[in-house]
Structure 1
């Protein structure tokens, strides 16, 4: 009998789990049928809605993911929201196992006074990536902006805020994002790091690309640009960190060349308070830090007030709870043992698994996601028996149809994909993204 598996979440984590599951089953001579349930009408998760539009090379991974979705053993059921259109107890009727792969799309908090005045980087990313569930407008009337964090998302936010709209017009952004960027008044973006440059989490390529715009000048401020013995030891163990430090060191003290927009990188400045009122942010307050010799830092008492009109938090993503499943609020993950979901007593919940960022937290790259999925799938195949009572693919289809769910299949996605490519061809671009849910569903139905 065919093993029936539902994967909740159509991003890389869920699709890799489907790929590994089908391959492992084939090698074992067993049959498996996998349905990927995704709340959006399009697959690929953060690859589509978390990668900056001016980084198309990263989106090349879509080609590999698309091949998985085209497998005969795999079905994509988009526009189906877990917890709204279908509950966990419902899925147990149709599937022998459920794998949760919903990732992390919320912003982590900083825990400082005035934080409610700031924007989450994830929300801004969703806007410029034309996520269909966010408003199509974004306030971009700040002349000077602060970005808190030193990861690649912080660089993406800073770069998009600093570059001109016309520079972004060669990407897949739709008209509402272009018009929003065209109206922005930002001239200076200040990026703040709590620690010194040895611990910056930028990738070397992302950092170097920051300096490629003809309209943006990168300024690395020398204050706080120190590396202690622990920092030297750290970069000695991490080649990428050394490349980042070398690039930053080459930029310290460069003479300005007069470009109209600037990205300022500030190290050893810990945000302590955001000041403002009903009309928005007026000031970011930071405290200079010093290293403690173990990679951590402490405040020095030296406070600086920065005249900024907007603050973006780019200090990491966070997963959110799902109905019917346990959740560890502190770690922001579903409690699990190697991908086996654990109940409140720490016992595995039969037939229930987790993979990706909601399993391990929002860390790691594609390699981690694959190994993560392999671990989870190994437990699933070893422990899952035939438990579903409604075993035909048509059973879940009928269930969703009864609830008037407008399911977007893989064929729908292919038509939407072709439609976006055609929109791009008309403008000399590779693609123009459709940014509203109904438009996506309509293009999926009609092409």
Structure 2
């Protein structure tokens, strides 16, 4: 390990930081230098921009990630895109003995049904990015719609539903940017339908996330017991994993609970497969058409030929993430991942010297945040097994930092990120709130360049 001097990790989310941590734990000489590159001026990836703002416990993982990034052997370098207008992977290979790509899965999966591109039909990922303050996020959501349909029954779908019906007073104590907070305060949805094509025993949410829906003040959470009973595992859950049994128990309790007539409600629906998004004459969403499904006896579902429509002016698809190609790296379009062998990037089926992957771009968007740790350790084990060959790769003695910027682009160091943190804390004070995210590129870069933080 002592022969390795310079490694780059592309991406500062959990998979990237866990990769750095695994490298540091095996560095006995203290001579290793790791540059963590990110196209954003802010670290932490989906922990900052994908975890709901009212989930403080999960967001507190930032403290753990921070401890790794503040190690003296590590240098955070933000505002450095790789590929596609930024520094090319080929150039990175010439600057570092090894490069580990931890770039996640940035795109959302599509449904491939008619009407998916109507006005008011969006990905849940876009909405999450907006309320989480991602500087690339758009807007223009039909927030005045009284009813929304969320397609999918995972944690992101539950997060989106909760944010849509939650009161502004409950979100004011979070770091949600002020503009989304104000918009949601004016237009909280009255009814949100969370719809899955399979049964409750196959839903992907965790019990903690699910239970939160049942504790929101002024909100009824509605489940139809008839839909639960269509799932044979609901009546006989003995062979199911404990988390699934807990989910079924929660859903069963809700199904038997009286409707209080609250002004806002979340309807959890099962065995409904979307077949079309229906539009108005003006090209906007007016409803979603579903085919009722039934268990096929093999773990999937089959269509029944019976259909049902749910009226809504807003549809958010939450059916998973998908990796996108990084120019200069090989890519398997079928899996949405970079071809690899235990983390070693494969070019034409052969391991590429000095190139590695970890996280979702390696294994696909599966698992929870903690799943990135063993994934990163496997990749680092491969990298260290190659250490002698990597140490022999010729790289310049000069600091690569001047080569990482581009035309009109200045890399943001860790001190620049501290400037952003300070500016967000000050913004929160002016709004009589806790720290509030800056959500635009100019604002982030101004804060990073502020006196004493550049």
Normalised to the residue count of structure 1, the TM-score between the two structures is: 0.94
Alignment match, 1:421: 425
1:360 aligns with 2:355: no
Q: Which runs of 5+ in 1 are unaligned?
A: none
CA contact (8 A) 2:77 2:413 kept: yes
Aligned to 1:382: 385
1:430, CA displacement in angstroms?
3.2
Of 35-44 and 235-244, deviating more is 235-244
Residue 208 of structure 1 corresponds to which residue in structure 2?
Answer: 211
Residue of structure 2 in register with 1:301 after alignment: 305
Q: Check conservation: 1:138, 1:180, Cα contact below 8 A.
A: no
Return the offset for 1:379.
Answer: 0.6
1:119-146 deviations in Å (ceiling 9; x for gaps): 1011110000010112355331211110
1:172 aligned onto 2:178: no
Retained in 1: the 8 A contact 2:234–2:248?
no
Would you say 1:280 and 2:287 are equivalent positions? no
Task: Report 1:335-346 matches (<5 A).
Answer: 335-344=339-348, 346=349
Tell me, what secondary structure is at the counterpart of 1:236?
coil
Correspondence list, 1:319-338, <5 A: 319-338=323-342
Look up the SS of the partner of 1:264 in the other structure: strand
- Distance in 1 (CA, whole Å) between partners of 2:237 and 2:347 is 38
Query: Would you say the 8 A contact 1:121–1:153 is kept in 2?
Result: yes
**Given the superposition, is the C-alpha separation of residues 224 and 88 from structure 1 closer, same or farther in structure 2, using an over 3 Å criterion?**
same
Match in the other structure for 2:11? 9
Provide, for residues 250-278 of structure 1, a one-character-per-residue CA deviation record: whole Å limited to 9, x for no partner: 00042221221110001111111111154
- Could you say what secondary structure the match of 1:224 adopts? helix
RMSD of aligned alpha carbons: 1.8
Q: Distance in 1 between matches of 2:381 and 2:211?
A: 40
Counterpart contact for 2:166–2:188, Cα < 8 Å: no
Deviation at 1:163, TM superposition (A): 1.5
- Residues 439/233 of structure 1: CA separation in 2 closer, same or farther (3 Å cut): same
Separation in 1 of the partners of 2:132 and 2:212? 19
The corresponding residue for 1:89 is 90
* Residues 1-400 of structure 1 aligned to structure 2 (within 5 Å): 1-26=3-28, 29=29, 31-83=31-83, 84-117=85-118, 118-135=121-138, 137-184=140-187, 186-226=189-229, 228-229=231-232, 236-277=239-280, 278-344=282-348, 346-384=349-387, 385-386=390-391, 387-392=393-398, 394=399, 396-400=400-404
Task: Please report how far the alpha carbon of residue 425 of structure 1 lies from its aligned counterpart in structure 2 after TM superposition.
Answer: 4.0
Task: Say if 1:198 and 1:227, in contact at 8 Å, map to a contact too.
Answer: no
**Separation in structure 2 between the aligned mates of residue 234 and residue 4 of structure 1, nearest angstrom:** 52
Report if the CA contact (8 A) 1:282-1:307 is conserved.
Answer: yes
Secondary structure of the equivalent of 2:316? strand
Per-residue Cα deviation, 1:400-440 (whole angstroms, up to 9, x for no partner): 35734221111111221132223334445431111111211
CA contact (8 A) 2:93 2:355 kept: no
Aligned-residue offset at 1:185? 5.4
TM-score (structure 2 length as normaliser): 0.93
**How many residue pairs get matched?**
442
Unmatched 5+ stretches in structure 2: none
Which stretch shows the higher mean deviation, 218-227 or 2-11?
Answer: 218-227
Query: Separation in 2 of the partners of 1:232 and 1:10?
Result: 44
Partner of 2:441: 437
Whole-angstrom distance in 2 between the partners of 1:120 and 1:293: 31
Q: State the Cα distance separating 1:87 from its structure 2 match.
A: 0.4
Task: Give the Cα–Cα distance (whole angstroms) in 2 for the partners of residues 373 and 272 of structure 1.
Answer: 39
- Distance in 2, matches of 1:111 and 1:226, equals 29
Q: Which whole-Å deviations, capped at 9, do the CAs of 1:377-398 have from their partners, x for residues lacking one?
A: 1111111413242233x2x222
Aligned-pair distance for 1:282? 1.1
Deviation at 1:98, TM superposition (A): 1.0
**Partner of 1:422: helix, strand, or coil?**
helix
Q: Quote the offset at 1:196 in angstroms.
A: 1.2
The answer as to whether partners of 2:86 and 2:406 remain within 8 angstroms in 1 is no
Query: Do 2:146 and 2:189's aligned partners in 1 also have CA atoms closer than 8 Å?
Result: yes
The answer to whether the 8 A contact 1:136-1:177 is kept is no
Aligned counterparts of 2:14 and 2:406: Cα–Cα separation in 1: 30
Moved more, 81-90 or 271-280: 271-280
